């Protein structure tokens, strides 16, 4: 198992229950969930990858079970890893999904637009 499929299903269920349009792709050896063509949330190994923006990153990075994302050994600004100790129940998971969705409208898309 390259990534925690149970955690991925839990996230997808939360998004479905909120009627959020999304797509998911296998990336980084894990699962990446895109909202409005922007990376929003995902699962890498056994951790939730949360794109929350730099202000929220600073706010939550010292919470139990949370750490800055350092996927390539270099810190990725605006992203956090959240482990299972911070995702015990559905309310905790939903609050992380909500944080990612709240930041999503401000996030920049990495999708390249075609020139006409």
pLDDT score at 1:
55
pLDDT score at 71:
73
Could you read off the pLDDT tens digit of each residue along the chain, which spans 116 residues? Answer: 589 999 999 999 999 999 999 999 998 789 999 999 999 999 999 999 999 999 999 999 999 999 999 877 888 899 999 999 999 999 999 999 999 999 999 998 865 655 55
pTM: 0.89
pLDDT score at 75:
87
Closest listed residue to residue 93, CA positions, set 8, 4, 2: 8
């Amino acid at each position: 198992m390259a990534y925690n499929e149970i955690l991925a299903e839990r996230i997808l269920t939360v998004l479905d229950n909120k009627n959020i349009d999304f797509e998911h792709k296998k990336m980084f050896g894990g699962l990446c969930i895109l909202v409005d063509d922007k990376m929003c949330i995902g699962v890498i190994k056994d951790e939730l990858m949360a794109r929350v923006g730099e202000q929220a990153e600073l706010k939550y990075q010292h919470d139990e079970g949370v750490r800055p994302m350092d996927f390539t050994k270099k810190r990725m600004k605006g992203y956090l890893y959240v482990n299972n100790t911070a995702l015990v129940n559905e309310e905790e998971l939903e609050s992380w999904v909500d944080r990612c969705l709240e930041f999503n409208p401000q996030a920049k898309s990495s999708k390249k637009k075609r020139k006409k």
